[in-house]
Amino acid sequence: MTKESFIQACDKAEGYIELGLFEDALNILEDLPTQAKVSKEVIILHMTILVKSGQPLKASYLGENLCFGDSDNVGLMLEVGQLKHDAGEFTDAIKWLKSVEPKCQHTGHFHLLRARCHAGLGDREACSLALREAHRINPDLRMKSLEDPAFDLIFGKPPPL
For residue range 17-53, list pLDDT tens digits in order: 999 999 999 999 999 999 999 999 999 999 999 999 9
pLDDT band of 160, cuts 50, 70, 90: low
pLDDT of residue 155: 72
Same domain, 79 and 155: yes
122 DSSP assignment: T
- At 57, which amino acid appears? L
Residue 159 confidence (pLDDT) above 70: no
**Based on the structure, what is the number of domains in the chain?**
2
Same domain, 92 and 41: no
Same domain, 155 and 92: yes
The better pLDDT of the pair 147, 16 is held by 16
Structural domain including 127 reads 71-161
Same domain, 48 and 109: no
Is 149 part of any domain?
Answer: yes
pLDDT of residue 24: 96
Same domain, 91 and 132: yes
Is 106 part of any domain?
Answer: yes
Same domain, 46 and 86: no
Of 154, 147, 103, 105, give the one whose Cα is nearest residue 128.
Answer: 154
Q: Which residues of 61-70 are buried (b: 16+ CB within 10 A; e: fewer)?
A: ebbbebbeee
Count, in order, helices (H) and strands (E) of the chain: 11, 0
Q: What angle do CA 5, 14, 19 make, to 5 degrees?
A: 135
Say which range, 73-77, 98-102, 140-144, has the weakest mean pLDDT: 140-144
For residues 55-70, average pLDDT: 95
Is 104 part of any domain?
Answer: yes
pLDDT band of 83, cuts 50, 70, 90: very high
* Domain of residue 102, CATH code: 1.25.40.10
